[in-house]
Amino acid sequence: MSYEVLAQKWRPQNFSDVVGQEHITTTLKNQILSERIGHAYLFWGPRGTGKTTIARILAKAVNCPNRIQETQFDAIQTAEPCNQCEFCNEISHDRSFDVIEMDAASNRGIDTIRDLRENVKLSPATCPYKIYIIDEAHMLSTEAFNALLKTLEEPPPHVIFIMATTEHAKIPKTISSRCQDFDFRYLEDEKIIERLQLIAQKEGISADLDVLTLITRQSEGCLRDAENLLELVSAAGKELTIEAVEQTIGLGSSSLLQELREAIAERELTKGLKTLNNLMKQGTDLSQCLDQLIGYFRDLRLLAIDSSLSEQVQSPKSDIPRLKQKAEAMSVNRLSRIIKILMHTNQDIKQYGYPQLQLETALIQLNSLEEGMPLEEAIGKLSALEQKFDSAGLSAVSHQPPLSGSHQSAADSRKPENRGTLPEFEDINPAYDNNRRKGLPRTENREPRTIPADSHPNVSHGLRDLKDLPSFWDEVKSKLPMRFRYALPEGAVPTVNGANTVEIPCSSSFIVLSTDENKKIVADILKQEVGKPVKIEFVASDIVSESVVSEDEPKETEQKTSMMRRVEAQDDPQLKTALDLFEATVVETQ
Amino acid sequence: MQHPIIGHQQIIDQLQHTVASGRIAGAYLFVGPTGVGKETVAHYFAQLIFCQQETQSPTVCGTCLACRKVNSGNHPDLQLIRPEGSLLKIGQIRELQRQVIYEPLEASRKIYILTDVDRMNPEAENCLLKTLEEPPAASVLILLTSNVQALLPTTRSRCQILQFRPMPTQELAEILVDRFSVVPKQATALAIAAGGSVGKALTQLENGDPLTEQVPEILRETDRLAAFRLAEDFKNNPDTLGELVTWYRDLLFLQQGAPRELITHIYSVEELRTIVPYYSRLRIQQAIQTIFDTKSLLENTNTNATLALEVMCLKLLK
């Protein structure tokens, strides 16, 4: 006999061996004892919880002649098969003529069922009962199910059908109503651990409780998963240690995971990213690691809601005092957001792959996650703000009042992120500029931030003189849309010609920007500052912006000429008429 | 064997021990991204079992008849089952079930390697279940997949699952430098393009594709019209999308002030730094999301590739 894996070798052979599912074994045993055996059973439930096993035991139990031992005066009955008689042995080794185990997934057509209907009529060869075990029954075709209906309703007295499936929903109602329905449940962790301990002991595998607990938790209540994992780890020939198991199933070492959790909780981005990198180097399965993170923060949230919820916490009981301490320091709100982002990442990993990158992005996102406030509070503050607007009787013009204290406390950001970069929403929300001009209050539900007081110069400074443009040019520049920033060289200052014409130097490679539309955008912004209409001209300057374009020189010169040509072409009156007529733009000049 | 097995040491150890102790299970599931070496290791496992060399611990001699037969793909007891067309069909599984009950011809075991099992349709997968659960004594089924989520939980639960992991980029680059004497700068580019697969990196190296590390144009481009030209480039080299993501990742890292050793494109850091100020965190994150979305569109739907890529480039240039 060749090697059998643990799950096969330790398949229970009688009812008392079966782990869990007492509600089923008790019922079946009582049925056998009282000789009220049904003619059709439907076993359904998750994988690895004992469906096929119990079906086989039932087949043996009803056929075993040794079940009833006659003494001189009385007959003693048990519900268990003896596992020694000929019938039991034949059934155990799948040799019996009268116990037919069908793989419905491989033979799913109507012809199989027609054959079955022919054979059902014949009486059993040796055993008292003829038993059909139809495994993976959900895969039978509709026709096959329907062909079975009449037989299933009134089979010959010597026939018992047992169907087993993982997908109850796929079994037609007409089938399940003709069967006795038994739902198999996920097994409790304690029972799986107990079973694993027994197996380990009998197989001479030395494994302590912690290891078995880890294996059990990984198997999600399915005994076969747990047994297979034990097999895998023990076949690797290593000592059964927590580390060996973690390595086999791709869990990161618990100390690194702990570090990662702390980094998230404490907002230590660098530490988090480094830890993640180390986990990667260890060969951790990052989606497993993500699951663990979610589980951990779920526990923390439970404890943060109420420390009496510790019953439902999944982490080991010994960790609870430490978790409680952690939970106190974090708000439920933030924990909820952390969980939400992690779950989202989980989904993204499943959809797009790139686990490392996705997790890194999540870490960065988590790092800039603020404590936030409950929605009701935010709404309250907003409506207070609204009232202030109303009472001040402000029209929707550029006079936005200095931010009220309430808004600023909402923007209680601990550290201004993106220091030295752009105001965040500018380039992603085109409506932003408009909103700001109209003085609409803006809600930033994700990233509250302080708005520096001087970002509203028109309030604090009033109108300015166009002549002073060079002095406040930088300020104006910061309000221009993204695309201008590359175009306008550092240090180059516009010149003011006459009363209202401004010449803005522009690096020659970007001279294509000088369209009427763009001019208008700049003019509008300037108009806000100086309070009168301004005419804008772009002038090609020879200063090439060092920061952006200097890298690929040779290409640049080529492009420059074509760009220049384009600008020249745009001035051509005929072309202009054509452009206006067709609302076109110049794409290429030759 | 085109390439030697590099990495996966833990799995190799495990398999050797399994063979040594005679505890070979009936069904294995190898899980890991495409090109990471699952098939190579599966063949190695077959050789471990077949090899006729008499040694204390199981090894692969590579010279005995059995080993050579595996190498040349004509061992009668090793069968490779690949999807026919786009699917692994129920007919193929039935054929397997018909054969699996026979005794092996030469070796002690019959080994079946099924590639891309995630491409079985539900009928085929269910059909395989009973065979997986209690395979005939002398047969070993090795299932390979890059997408374990697509398999039924009932399938997963019946197999011994071995996880294959892509090699971290830095490690791969180091190996390329140490063992194959690649220039460090090129090694990094190769490693990134190969996505952690040694096989892919070596193939690319043999093909002599010049890979140079250059900051993608799209990061710096400001003219939205350029989107169409760039989209054309991406269309011609669809693999570069994955690489593009790594550039945005670096931008994000630089922007957040992450430690230098975590940056992938270490040779272009200075250049990247000049670009960083033009990007906000949200913009980079959205860019990454956009690229992923487009990738998934291209891979999973029959979308118009040109259109999808143009939309992507326009979004990135915003």
User: Identical fold at B9-163 and B169-316?
Assistant: no
- The answer to whether B271 touches B219, Cβ cutoff 8 Å, is no
CATH superfamily of B9-163: P-loop containing nucleotide triphosphate hydrolases (3.40.50.300)
Nearest CA-CA distance, residue B121 and chain A, Å: 12
Nearest CA-CA distance, residue A428 and chain B, Å: 7
- The answer to whether B245 touches B216, Cβ cutoff 8 Å, is no
Nearest to A80 by CA among A26, A161, A135, A23: A26
Nearest CA-CA distance, residue A74 and chain B, Å: 42
Residue predicted with more confidence, A33 or B210: A33
Nearest to B168 by CA among A253, A355, A245, A349: A355
What DSSP string runs through A82-116?
-S-SHHHHHHHTT--SSEEEEETTTS-SHHHHHHH
- The CA distance from A403 to A459, in Å, is 11
- Chain centre distance of CA B214: 25
Question: Under an 8 A CB cutoff, do B277 and A420 touch?
Answer: yes
CATH number for the domain whose boundaries are B169-316: 1.20.272
- The answer to whether B113 touches B78, Cβ cutoff 8 Å, is yes
Residues of A in contact with B286 (CB under 8 A): 428
Q: Can you give the pLDDT at residue B168?
A: 76
Where residue A570 falls among pLDDT bands split at 50, 70, 90? low
Residue predicted with more confidence, B141 or A79: B141
Question: Under an 8 A CB cutoff, do A235 and B25 touch?
Answer: yes
Find residues 379-408 of chain A whose CB sits inside 8 Å of chain B: none
Task: Summarize pLDDT for B218-252 with one digit per residue, the tens.
Answer: 888 777 788 888 888 888 887 788 888 888 988 89
Question: Under an 8 A CB cutoff, do A247 and B10 touch?
Answer: yes
Nearest to B277 by CA among A409, A547, A562: A547
Residues of B in contact with A138 (CB under 8 A): 126
Q: Can you give the pLDDT at residue A426?
A: 41
Would you tell me how many other CB atoms lie within 10 Å of the CB of residue A450?
A: 14
- Domains annotated for chain A, with CATH where assigned, are 6-183 (3.40.50.300), 189-249 (1.10.8.60), 254-367 (1.20.272.10), 388-459 (no CATH), 463-582 (3.30.300.180)
Phi and psi at residue A510, in whole multiples of 5°? -110, 15
Task: Summarize pLDDT for B260-308 with one digit per residue, the tens.
Answer: 878 878 778 888 888 888 888 888 989 999 999 998 888 888 889 899 9
- The CA distance from B61 to B58, in Å, is 9
Residue predicted with more confidence, A63 or A425: A63
End-to-end alpha carbon distance in chain B: 48
Phi and psi at residue A190, in whole multiples of 5°? -60, -40
**Does A420 score more than 60 pLDDT?**
no
Question: Under an 8 A CB cutoff, do B137 and A368 touch?
Answer: no
Q: Can you give the pLDDT at residue B259?
A: 81
Mean pLDDT confidence for A316-331: 82
Nearest to A79 by CA among A152, A162, A18: A18
Q: What is the pTM of this model?
A: 0.65
Mean pLDDT confidence for A123-144: 92
Q: Can you give the pLDDT at residue A590?
A: 60
- The answer to whether A256 touches A281, Cβ cutoff 8 Å, is no
B158 and A CB contact within 8 Å? yes
Question: Under an 8 A CB cutoff, do A228 and B17 touch?
Answer: no
Where residue A589 falls among pLDDT bands split at 50, 70, 90? low
Question: Under an 8 A CB cutoff, do B25 and A510 touch?
Answer: no
Q: Which residues of A204-235 are buried (b: 16+ CB within 10 A; e: fewer)?
A: ebebeeebbbbbbbbbbbbbbbbbbbbbbbbb
Where residue A535 falls among pLDDT bands split at 50, 70, 90? confident
Question: Under an 8 A CB cutoff, do A3 and B17 touch?
Answer: no
Residue B9: closest C-alpha in chain A: A283
Find residues 194-233 of chain A whose CB sits inside 8 Å of chain B: 222, 224-225, 228, 231-232
Nearest to A558 by CA among A514, A513, A499, A509: A509
- The CA distance from A534 to A496, in Å, is 10
Please give the share of chain A, as a percent, with pLDDT higher than 70. Answer: 78
Residues of A in contact with B296 (CB under 8 A): 351-352
- Residue A131's SS3 state is strand
CB pairs under 8 A between A and B: 180
Per-residue tokens: A259 = 């570090």
CA angle A194, A195, A199 (to 5 degrees): 120
Find residues 171-190 of chain B whose CB sits inside 8 Å of chain A: 171
**Does A421 score more than 50 pLDDT?**
no
Nearest to B54 by CA among B41, B66, B43: B66
A271 and B CB contact within 8 Å? no
- Residue A371's SS3 state is coil
- The CA distance from A257 to A293, in Å, is 8
**Does A149 score more than 80 pLDDT?**
yes
- Chain centre distance of CA B302: 23
Nearest CA-CA distance, residue A166 and chain B, Å: 8
Domain boundaries, chain B: 9-163, 169-316
Would you tell me how many other CB atoms lie within 10 Å of the CB of residue B143?
A: 29
Q: Can you give the pLDDT at residue A461?
A: 52
Residue predicted with more confidence, B88 or A410: B88
Helix axes A573-582, A553-571, angle to 10 degrees: 90
What are the helix (H) ranges across A439-583?
457-460, 469-479, 482-487, 516-530, 546-549, 553-571, 573-582
Question: Under an 8 A CB cutoff, do A361 and B130 touch?
Answer: no
Per-residue tokens: A527 = 């108009």
Among the residue ranges A297-311, A389-403, A533-547, B264-278, the one predicted with the least confidence is: A389-403
End-to-end alpha carbon distance in chain A: 83
Return the HEC string of B102-116.
CCCCCCCCEEEEECC
Among the residue ranges A180-189, A355-364, A518-527, the one predicted with the least confidence is: A518-527
**Does A451 score more than 50 pLDDT?**
no
**Does B111 score more than 90 pLDDT?**
yes
Q: Best of A44, A141, A231, A354 to disrupt the B interface by mutation (most B CBs within 10 Å)?
A: A354
**Does A18 score more than 80 pLDDT?**
yes
Query: Which ipTM value was assigned to this complex?
Result: 0.76
**Does A218 score more than 70 pLDDT?**
yes
Question: Under an 8 A CB cutoff, do B23 and A274 touch?
Answer: no
Q: Which of B25, B33, B130 sits opposite A231 (nearest CB)?
A: B25
